[in-house]
Each structure stands twice: as C-alpha cells, then as structure tokens.
Amino acid sequence: MRRTMTDDPKNIWQTPPAIPDVDALSDAWRRVFTSGVDAMFATGERARAMSTTPPYDPFAPARAFTEFATALIADPTALQKTQASAFKEWSELLQRQTMRMSGQPTGDGIKEDRSDRRFADPAWTDDPFFSAIKESYLIAARNMIALAAETKGIDASTRARIDFFTRQYIYAMAPTNFAMTNPAVLRKTLETGGLNLLGGLANFLTDYASTDSWVQRRASDEFELGKDIAATPGAVIYQNEVMQLIQYEPSTKKTYKRPMLYVPPLVNKYYLMDLKPKSSLLKWLVDEGHTVFTISWKNPDASHQHLDLTDYVLEGPVAALGAIEDATGESQVDLFSFCMGGAIASAALAYLTQTGKGDKIASATMMATLIDYSKLGEWSTFTEAQQVEAFNDHIHAKGVISGDDLKKLFSVVRANDLIWSSVVDHYLLDHLAPPSDLLHWFADGANMPKAFLATWSRDILRENKLAIPGALKIGDVAIDFGKVKTPVFNLALRDDHVSAWDAVYDNGAHFGGPVTFVLGGSGHNAGIINPPSRGKHGYHVSKKKADTAEDWLENAEQKEGSWWPEWQSWLTSGKLSQEQTDARYIGSGNLKPIEPAPGSYVRG
C-alpha cells in the first residue's frame, strides 16, 4: 500500500498529486459558481447601502508608523541593534541548515511559543525546507517586535499602537497562511488533487456574501436556544426597556437564603454562563443550592440610541434587586458579573452605597472586570482620539454599533486564534469547524446604543473616570468605590487578552472593604467556563496582600482544577455564611412568570 503524506512529512515533495474524482470536481466548481453569484449580488447591495463611515480610522496605521519612522531617524540606535541581532540569528540559521543538509547534528533551532499552535504539523520541525521557513519567520517577527519596543522617543500610547499594527502585519504574513508554504495545505492539496482549494474558494465567497462578510468559525444550525444552550429551566419574571430578569427553577429541596444575580456585559448575550448543561455556570450554581437570577439585556436598535450608562445601571441591576425582593422576599443579594457587566454592577454597587442602600448587596463578585482603564495595552489602539471620532461618526447615523462590528473588533485583537486559524482551516484546508457552543455564543453578538457608547468611550476608556473617586456620575450621584464596604471576590484570568490579569488585580485598591483575589487559568472566556468536572486550568490563591500583582503571584498557592468550588466556599462560609431555606419556586412570590427562559430579549 502506498504510504500517504501523513505517514512521513519529510516525503511531502515526493508524493504525486491525486487526480480528483470527476463528480467531486464538478460539485466543487458548482459551489464556487453558486457562491460567486451570491458574492456578486452582495457586493452590489453593499455598494448601494454604503451610507455610513466605517467604525475605525483607516489612516491609524499610517499615522502610527510615520511617528515610528520619525523616532527611528532621530535615534537609529535601536535599528542598528535590531539589525545586528537579526544578522546574527540568520547567520546561525544558515549554519544550522548547512549542517543539517550534510547530516550533522544541529541542536535546537528557533522555537515558537508553547501557546502558538500554528506550527503543530511535524513538517515544520522535520522537513529542512519548512523548518527554515518557520525559523526565518520567527526571527523576523521577534526582531520587528523588539524594534517597536526599544525605539526611543515614543510615548506609551503611540508605542502600544505601533506594537499592535506591527503584530497584525506579522500575523497576516505568517507562512501558515499561504498554500505554498504550509505543509498541511500542500499535503491536503496533493491528496485531493486541489479540491480543498476549490472548496476553500467557495467557502470564502460564501462568507463574503454573508451578512457580516466575515470568516465563519462555526456550524450555524447546530444549537438552539432553550434546547441545547441557554437551556437551564426557568422563566422571565420581570422586564423593562433594557432587560428581562430570568429566575431559574431550583433543583434542590433546600436553597441558600440569599439569592444570586448575574449581570452580563452589553457586548455579548448572557448565556456565556449558560452554555451546554455540562458547562453551564448558572446550572452549576442552581445545583449547588442557590436561587439564581440573571439579567438578559435587550438587543438595542436605533430606537434605543438614547440609553446611557445611567439607564443600564438603574434599569438593570438596581431594578433587578427590587424585582428579586418582590419574587423572594429577600432584601439581600449576592451579585456577580463579568467583564463590562462588572463595570455596570460595580457602578450600581457604588450608587446604592452612596444612596444608603448598599446593604442590599451582601457580596459582589467581579470576573475579568476592570475598574482602572489606564492599562489597556493593545486595546488602547482604539482609544486614540481619531479612532474615537471615527467610531462616534459611524454610530451617529445608525444609533447603534452592530454586534457584527463588535465581533470583528474582538477578533482582530486575537487575530491568530479568531481570524487566521479560521482562514487556514476554512479557505485552504476546506475544513468546517466542529460545532462549538462557545463559538456559537461568540458569533451571536449584541448591538450597543449610541449614548452608552459615547459615555463609555469618553468617560471610561479615555478619561478613566471609573477609577477616579467622584469623577463619574450615575444620575446625580458621583460614585466613589472607596466608600464601598461590601466584600468583593475579584477574579482574573492568567491569559486574558481583554482584561489583563495584573490590571484586574489592581481593582482591590479601589474598594473600601475586604477584597479576595483569585487568579484563574486560561483566557477571557474559556477561563470563566471551567466546570469542576473537567479538572482543567487550575488557579492561584493567597491570603497575603501585595503591592503588585507579580509580588502576589510569587507567594500564591497553585491549586488544581476549577475555581468554581473556591468561589462557592467564599459565598457560603466565614462572614458570608448563610442559612438555608425551602426551595423557592417561580411564581411563589409576588412576581409571576411572563414567559419561559431564555426569554425573547436574548433572541433579538
């Protein structure tokens, strides 16, 4: 039997190409033609609909690199140093390759980071040709990043923009993204006689013709809200202009006395916390004996463009607290929140504290939440004055920014994982991503209204008012987290690309009460959805306070598995210990069910 390319990646050039089956070839060309027609019509429709400016400043990269070039001309020391380093590394690479071709041992070459999954194919290590391509790319990439970091005469925000755009260029030019320099693609092309490239072209045209004109990362029809995901039994018991409040049915005979309320971010829908039942945090909390409520934000359209931060605070968590008391008779709630939802929940906590109602919240848990936005890292690229102006111009006419635009923004920040890996799989290998509840949720984005975005981009991102006592107002109340004495559980994720873990650690300095910090493993979303049954990622804890995040980590204890049980223990022991009562069923209080969970707002 003939050995395939997969059996021995070193023989990738020695296997003759297959001749594709006539029916398969015909089907591939049919897909290309059909998708091409759809793409042609989509192009025409978009040309007719182009009435708004883009949500970004297209001149931002040129502006950043002009400042970069000016700084290099003024002080070429960094360039000279980088050139010397690159010359040395390339010389060593040439020497290794020469020794390798003559059969001599070469030792280890340039290695990619352990988290870099682009070079997993054995040919990148075993085949001299692909090994040389990979190492050349890594040398160039590392030296370009070093040059951007070491050039003098550049302020921090400009340097962050230069670094961001440099990395975008590096990611785009990776050899894995091109058919002739990716061994997996070459292997598949030879094995299929090029059918994968035809199929990939059809996939590209289909994606281009889609509503958001973006590379697809999921099978779109695999999940149904209320059946496969967002399926924890419950009902909507209250609603207003901005949100529905969902109460979940108990699964235990006894429940803890204090109900729990989840506040999600506006940019995504709430059911990140209620994916498939085996990974649902909300179901896990119900099974642990909690009475759980969640806010489900209404997906706004142009008619909601007036809604501002104050509206989301007062008509969101503050209104929900009143509804929960009507439903359960309990005046105290354990509040928990995620990302931007944490900022909204924290503002509500400060507002209630300063209006004499702070005791309504017994504890506040903030997951991957920032209070101080001065350490935005690569996200600061989008807070440049020209970028904010372009952003505001874009939403002025529409009244909202679409969930599709926000999805693209998040994808660009994690381009390797969320764009280029999909380009390779979908367009070069003709692979369809396996169904994923997490990817389904990520693609199901939500819009955000104009007034809220104006406040968020100006007052919070650019002027950092959330971190300045008395600078930000909710209604007529100037909020100050220093006056909050409520116990806070502050969770960060080690590999978080949205809320850097050291910046999340600094939240503790803003609150006037006790703060417990826990560092979870993995990234922004996967680190949150980490059920104990998986036994993954691990987390760090420490009772010792430290001035900096790194000092805290040096003395922290690493534990295996999920941080969820650690949080459950914090919620139910010590000063937060609580009695249990008979399970509370939906409708047993003063609020009756409006419609079954997950409700209608999440489907908008």
Residues taking part in catalysis: 339
Separation of alpha carbons 43 and 413, rounded Å = 26
Separation of alpha carbons 124 and 9, rounded Å = 9
Separation of alpha carbons 584 and 90, rounded Å = 68
Separation of alpha carbons 39 and 50, rounded Å = 16
354: exposed, middle or buried (C-beta count within 10 Å: 0-12, 13-18, 19+)?
A: middle
Instruction: List the structure tokens of 337.
Output: 């929140």
Instruction: List the structure tokens of 76.
Output: 């070429």
Q: Which residue has the tokens 């008391």?
A: 325
Contacts of 365 (CB under 8 A, 6+ apart): 334, 335, 336, 337, 488, 489, 491, 567, 571
List 260's β-bridge partners, or say none.
292, 334
Separation of alpha carbons 364 and 333, rounded Å = 9
What is the separation of C-alpha 128 from the centre of its chain, rounded to a whole number of angstroms? 36
Residue type, 261: L
Comparing C-alpha atoms, which of 233, 401, 190 is closest to residue 304?
A: 401
Instruction: List the structure tokens of 188.
Output: 């598949």
Instruction: List the structure tokens of 578.
Output: 């609580």
Separation of alpha carbons 276 and 229, rounded Å = 5
What is the separation of C-alpha 434 from the centre of its chain, rounded to a whole number of angstroms? 19
Q: Are strands 515-520 and 488-493 parallel, antiparallel or unpaired?
A: parallel
- 3-state SS string for 303-354: HHCCCCHHHHHHHHHHHHHHHHHHHHCCCCEEEEEECHHHHHHHHHHHHHHH
How many other β-carbons are positioned within 10 Å of the β-carbon of residue 114?
6
Residue type, 321: L
**Sign of the CA dihedral 270, 271, 272, 277?**
positive
Separation of alpha carbons 353 and 405, rounded Å = 36
Separation of alpha carbons 448 and 456, rounded Å = 11
Q: If residue 109 lies in a helix (H) or strand (E), which one and from where to where?
A: none
Residues present in the chain in total: 604
Helix (H, G, I), strand (E, B) or coil at 449: strand
82: exposed, middle or buried (C-beta count within 10 Å: 0-12, 13-18, 19+)?
A: buried
Comparing C-alpha atoms, which of 292, 294, 296 is closest to residue 243?
A: 296
CB-based contact 242:309 (threshold 8 Å): no
